[in-house]
Amino acid sequence: MVGVDVRCSEIAKRFGTTEAVAPFSVSLVAGQTTALVGPSGCGKSTILRMIAGLEAPDSGNITLGSDTPKDVARRGGLAMAFQDPSLLPWRSVRANIALGAELARKLGADVDALIDLVGLKGFADHRPAELSGGMRQRAAIARSLISAPQVLLLDEPFGAVDAMTRRRLNVDLPPLWRSRGTTVVLVTHSVQEAILLSDRVLVLSPRPARLIADISVDLPSARDNSLVATDNFIAVSRAVFAALEEDA
């Protein structure tokens, strides 16, 4: 299933007296990975949850392709992964990943092939308690990919693992969704991670979230951690930090 464009048109969200997201518009290109960065509590996750259809905007609208988020989710075209892998402890790795296909009503998905792709070969019958944090996160990402979603939403997906595991996941997992043409929206507090994983970085203001910079990432599609020392990476990093500091 090929990715679709994501369009947010003047979306806004308020929780009681707190304005979380100011009127916000952006168009995300099908098949690309876009990162949302900004200060803690600025509204990044709220935007992601509205794109997922888990929160309704108070005004404005969101379309994934020509459909609403709920329509796309209903047919199994949307998946979301969080910082907490939230694997079912009584299910094996294979059964946890298969759950993603079951919920999307996409039976017949090749679970074992995806287990191999995410580096969990030999652990298919293990339960989450028997896995490291990085392995549990790999299983959670595999569960979100098993339905071959058009849109994949990632909310700090590597935030709960150690630094070395995070570096490995930043390199090992993006090729899985890039090869499928999935449209990915990533929330992260790490500027380095945002640049390494994304084609585009959107910098958001302190709450209420508004777009203050839209920065293109001109790096090869095949990426590893050595890129952080390159001139292009440093230039993008400086642009992101400059936008964050200017609006602080």
Both 72 and 29 in a single domain? yes
Structural domain includes residue 1: no
Query: How far is it, in rounded angstroms, from Cα 68 to Cα 132?
Result: 37
Assign 14 to helix, strand or coil: strand
Expressed as residue numbers, the domain containing 114 is 85-147
Total number of domains in the chain:
2
pLDDT at position 223 is 85
The pLDDT, as a whole number, for residue 108 is: 64
Alpha-carbon gap, residue 157 to 83, rounded angstroms: 4
Report, in this order, helix, strand and coil percent for the chain, each rounded to 5.
35, 25, 40
CATH of the domain at 39: 3.40.50.300
Q: What is the SS3 assignment for 117?
A: helix
Same domain, 67 and 177: yes
Rounded to whole angstroms, what are the CA distances from 198 to 18, 192, 245?
30, 10, 21
In the prediction, which pLDDT does 158 show? 77
Lowest mean pLDDT across 23-27, 113-117, 159-163: 159-163
221 and 171 inside one domain: yes
Please state the pTM of the whole predicted model: 0.89
Would residue 3 count as lying in a domain?
no
| pLDDT, mean of residues 70-93 | 87
179-223 tens-digit pLDDT: 888 999 999 989 999 999 999 999 999 999 999 999 999 888 888
pLDDT score for 240: 95
Q: 124 and 239 share a domain?
A: no
If asked whether residues 95 and 126 sit together in one domain, one would say yes
pLDDT tens profile 2-50: 789 999 999 999 999 999 999 989 999 999 999 999 998 888 999 999 9
